[in-house]
Structure 1
């Protein structure tokens, strides 16, 4: 009977189509060690097609280290990576790209002297018949890419002419251009406006619809609950757990991240003193901002809010003498000062923490201590020699006070997480013992636990009589920390709001140039 059924006239069996793998990417028991520290210990992660996996954790939790392993920058000491169900070893970033993994780094990695198009297609430029770069075709490809992503930038513009927000959008477009199945986004909204964030979220929705898997690293809780399908949490280099985003709330997520409850993010504030330390009158920088006037009192935190391009950072840099004013006056302790040199500003008791720690903050090839001590070296010199022991003790004291996570002060600062680099920079300026502290985006790229520590420190400094100017793109931060908020729009002050009357709606109305609502 069997032979008659399977004879010459039988229909051949149809082999079933292999099922698509449940996960695009799997991290299985990965460990990574660096000199003096275990960055990752037996961690795991899984990314499904068509989903956003938010990766959360404090600075130093190991998030960026794991992403660099996935992107082929580092290799694990133990464990394995599976891509579409198959074990792979990614030894170079190029190999990772060829296998369908692209990464948008927290620290932008563009060539400022090259055009936008040249940056996007670097290493894979279209060639003509003479094997030379076909610039016309490269610009057309860039315009087509920008058209799909709804990015309004000229492909021929030099990247160095773009704002940080513009460079961030170029990085996003470059990553998308690889048409990768797995896209890693490490703090992609740290330098872009709310409008651009909404734009990015629409791009992410399109990528999800195409079946892409996205790993999204952020310290902003609202973003997690806006776009994430699942949330994975790391703490101190270990895997804590994974949950669906709709099964969590902010308090539960914070508790998983820090291992404790943060009962109050913003500390209690003391009433500022009457003594005016800094007075600015009709300050202007031709073509950038004009008619900036305010008084800053001892113990006061003055928040400066505004959209990208409003001139907030330019005002800070002019007060600190980086770009001398073309109009107006600056008075310190009632004395008029021509602030045209940062060294003079430091001598007058000012300190400035800049918004871009990579370009204008850290010295990446130097140690943590060398980065902390650079602003105070003359004060620790005697007869031409630096008092190394005394200086080291001071740096160690500041490291402990700000809880900078590092194996030692000799560790290269480039090996620290972004948040710990930021705290080391803050330590640098506090070592100058300033009376007026200007903080430009002080918590950019810093986790919620470290933010609470920075807020506590700012409140303590203000309580001791230090005057603080805090520029921030995060409105809850501005409202939670400021005694007053100065709002700017296109180079002008559009209003001041006291702590008791400041709301997100009122700040946004002033920041957009509209009259404040009551």
Structure 2
């Protein structure tokens, strides 16, 4: 591809928030019809840089140049006028509106005679846009009824409808199935063929090698460098991102003292789970694998009392227990980390300290029925240090932390409870390679302490890398259990599709 004037140049971009230098002297260039990967650990500054480009934040220093002309992007509308669209990791769709209503939100088509919404025109135009990217969703379908992958396509169509020539995709495949991810890649290649430029942010390095042309790497808010995809290996990228060589991406520790602790006997959940029999053992990590919708999270939520089983029994240390709500589970030494940390694990407007101690306030209660602030502060400081949580202070709002550090705060919240069984659902979803290893180290430490860990994951290398046993589910049933030696990608996939 002949290089002329870049579509986008960002030169010397800097941004400071109170107490944090988020970006320092960052450079980036992007050409028409190119897919540029933007890589870095959580907290490296990727999202901040993209928010400056899309008008959400204002830069403190530096230049943004579009097609050779310097621009000052003051808000999102100005960015859109310049042809810049951003598709955030948390999709900005309204579930109770139709696909067409979402597409034309803020830019509705009005019938000149009736002064009402011209739904016929909106639906027709929406269908044409969807057709361009090979999406067959009906324009009058409510968004709450479509899949996550189709919502992702809707976000892309929004960008196309605004005549964007630069689209930022932030972790676009986090919640997609393998088939939906393949469809997304086809759409990316189609956009590329139309000279639309894409900045692609992902922690999944296989995706970078599949669809990107060049890679820009940030670390701790600084520009590390730029490389061509064809010139680097995964190990090269990891070293650039974390600033050190990682000998083991998936550190595995042999279990030393394994004993049964929790048993599920013939557990059923109406229409979802069918006769689940499972033994969970202290001192090991049990990996749970399966395709989306297989019932893995539902098993976790039954154990934790969020869902009430239809039939069957749960035993802890050989004694049957009644778990009818999460409080019952907590009282029996069971902790659960949801895959959706922002909706079900955190209270975003509260601080690191408040989120970390929320489930354990009774531990800090004095005889006067007041919370001992000193004890609370000491335990929070202890876990910030123990789990290497990067935060300016324990009073920092949790929403300002990176995904990996948010996940560590949730782990700390439950570790303060000293659980016997820790269920962790998609432990490294949206988390960079450096933070992933730190979380694996925490899980291995819990295993060594004699805790039982149930790890639900859609990341096959993760399941194979740190599990002692793997249980595979298909359509609400357990289709097989594999030892660490037996577990391979092929053997797990066969069980996951019901063979």
Gaps of 5+ in 2: none
Q: Shift in Å at residue 188 of structure 1? A: 0.6
Residue in 2 aligned with 1:452? 437
Partner Cα separation in structure 2 for residue 225 and residue 404 of structure 1:
30
| Counterpart pick for 1:503 among 472, 480, 488 | 488
Moved more, 414-423 or 443-452: 414-423
Change over 3 Å in CA distance of 1:114–1:380 after alignment to 2: farther
Q: Secondary structure of the residue that 2:431 maps to in structure 1?
A: coil
Residue in 1 aligned with 2:5? 22
Whether the aligned pair in 2 keeps the contact of 1:107 and 1:358 (CA below 8 Å) is: no
1:357-387 deviation digits (Å, cap 9, x = unpaired): 2222221111111111111112211222111
Partner Cα separation in structure 2 for residue 427 and residue 156 of structure 1:
45
Change over 3 Å in CA distance of 1:169–1:388 after alignment to 2: farther
Residue in 1 aligned with 2:364? 380
Residue in 1 aligned with 2:413? 428
Q: Is 1:294 the equivalent of 2:278?
A: yes
Whether the aligned pair in 1 keeps the contact of 2:79 and 2:85 (CA below 8 Å) is: yes
Q: Is 1:360 the equivalent of 2:344?
A: yes
1:177-225 deviation digits (Å, cap 9, x = unpaired): 4331111111111111111111111100001101111111111111111
Q: Secondary structure of the residue that 1:470 maps to in structure 2?
A: strand
Partner Cα separation in structure 2 for residue 417 and residue 253 of structure 1:
20
Partner Cα separation in structure 1 for residue 117 and residue 235 of structure 2:
53
Moved more, 35-44 or 311-320: 311-320
The equivalences for 1:36-435 within 5 A come to 36-129=19-112, 130-162=114-146, 164-271=148-255, 273-382=257-366, 383-435=368-420
Moved more, 206-215 or 395-404: 395-404
Whether the aligned pair in 2 keeps the contact of 1:168 and 1:191 (CA below 8 Å) is: no
Whether the aligned pair in 1 keeps the contact of 2:270 and 2:310 (CA below 8 Å) is: yes
Q: Shift in Å at residue 154 of structure 1? A: 4.1
- Report the RMSD for the aligned CA atoms in angstroms: 1.8
Change over 3 Å in CA distance of 1:508–1:70 after alignment to 2: same
Partner Cα separation in structure 2 for residue 431 and residue 173 of structure 1:
45
Q: Is 1:492 the equivalent of 2:466?
A: no
Gaps of 5+ in 1: 1-18
TM-score normalised by length of structure 2: 0.95
Partner Cα separation in structure 1 for residue 441 and residue 175 of structure 2:
24
Whether the aligned pair in 2 keeps the contact of 1:272 and 1:297 (CA below 8 Å) is: no
Whether the aligned pair in 1 keeps the contact of 2:3 and 2:31 (CA below 8 Å) is: no
Residue in 1 aligned with 2:16? 33
Change over 3 Å in CA distance of 1:372–1:155 after alignment to 2: farther
Whether the aligned pair in 2 keeps the contact of 1:232 and 1:243 (CA below 8 Å) is: yes
Residue in 2 aligned with 1:474? 459
Change over 3 Å in CA distance of 1:58–1:230 after alignment to 2: same
Q: Shift in Å at residue 292 of structure 1? A: 1.3
Residue in 2 aligned with 1:12? none
Change over 3 Å in CA distance of 1:149–1:330 after alignment to 2: farther
Moved more, 60-69 or 174-183: 174-183
Q: Secondary structure of the residue that 1:509 maps to in structure 2?
A: helix
Bigger Rg, structure 1 or 2 = 1
Q: Shift in Å at residue 166 of structure 1? A: 4.8
TM-score normalised by length of structure 1: 0.92
Partner Cα separation in structure 2 for residue 132 and residue 339 of structure 1:
53
Partner Cα separation in structure 1 for residue 293 and residue 77 of structure 2:
35
Partner Cα separation in structure 2 for residue 86 and residue 73 of structure 1:
20
Change over 3 Å in CA distance of 1:102–1:210 after alignment to 2: same
Partner Cα separation in structure 2 for residue 483 and residue 228 of structure 1:
35
* Runs of 4+ displaced beyond 4 Å: 161-166
Q: Shift in Å at residue 272 of structure 1? A: 5.7
Partner Cα separation in structure 1 for residue 13 and residue 83 of structure 2:
20
Partner Cα separation in structure 2 for residue 421 and residue 175 of structure 1:
30
Moved more, 361-370 or 144-153: 144-153
Q: Secondary structure of the residue that 1:375 maps to in structure 2?
A: helix
1:329-368 deviation digits (Å, cap 9, x = unpaired): 1112222222221111111111111111222222111111
Partner Cα separation in structure 2 for residue 167 and residue 373 of structure 1:
35
Change over 3 Å in CA distance of 1:339–1:166 after alignment to 2: farther
